[in-house]
Structure 1
Amino acid sequence: MSSDRVALNKEIAFQKWEGYAKPIDRGRHVNFGEKFVFAPDYVMMSPHFNDGTPQSAAEMFSDEVAAAMAEYAPDGDMLTAEWRMWWKHMPDYRLVSPFECVAGEWGFSSCDTYAGTLPDGSVLELREWDYIWINEAGEVTRWDWFVDPDKWEQLLALVGLEPKGLTSQQYTVNFLREGGSRN
């Protein structure tokens, strides 16, 4: 096992964690850092989108997503737009678990807990499990993510989305409209 490659994958994992853990400290800006780079043909999969069918970057980038990006995130910053959507309902929403990952030559896995205070004072927590594959060039080639279904449905209800049949494109357009730079 190449210790350099494992160390790089762990650093990429840390930059992802830090991007989600410290956005409030960074002026409400979400950024994964310079080492977290997607390969042009990367794939994402979650059982909560597209009925669990993996999608390539090209498939995720529909005409509707492109139009919403042009209008609401012309600078390309989709991460911050997604979090602005959550901050409208939970101003303190962030990753609250300490950094922990299992890195290997293939990439890394991690389990994170996100939390935010709802208007009624209760705290909504969501656990996420990520499996992220990284190629020899240090680019993310695949990201599979899983969350607690009940908590995910609570989050989606906050932003008016129905979980059944939800596509990644519908979710993306919604967070761009709700949290984009024009809002």
Structure 2
Amino acid sequence: MKKIYLVGLKFYDSKDAEFPLNYEQVTNLKKEIFLEFLRFDADEHIAVDLFGDLALPDQIIQILSLVPHSLKICQDEGFLYHLNLPDIQLVQERPDIESSSNPVLVEKPVFVLSEDDKLLIVESSAKGVVPRPIENPENLSDGVVGYLPDFVTLSESEKAKLFGNKVAFVCRDPQDSFERRMSEKMSQKALCFLINLIEFCEG
């Protein structure tokens, strides 16, 4: 018997909304991975931890309405047992392997295939969106979303966007000769602190 496992996808999870991720985009990406899993040619499809901590009953039912055939779900939390889920079987079955289908956690989401008592890893066609803090704008590998967690100037923010990086906090660029001189001696973080302090005092 051939079984395919979707591991830890976690639809509607609080991690999906954390900076620098876009909650709606992450949810749509997870739907793509879920549909790819359902299309896989296997005798059984088992989704392990399919829903995250923000999932509401109507959202769960909406997602499961996409399922064209019987699906087995293994979910730690017991809230699924209180829902009327036609054609869905709740099981306690997990593959004994450290892998994940969650694009927020891994750069390359995978499925776990069980065949002839062997566990195999099957890569998804989707790329991850793993958040990674960086100190300076840079190109990162596919599956990673780089972000600058500290204040940067507007010009540095524009540079970061060219690399596809996200920026948490932005302050204006140095305006006068004093601020420009200080920018040559200070880190970006310290410079932005100084500029914000100047603006606060002037306000």
Which has more helix, going by share of residues?
Answer: 1
Q: TM-score, normalised by structure 2?
A: 0.22
Structure 1-normalised TM-score? 0.24
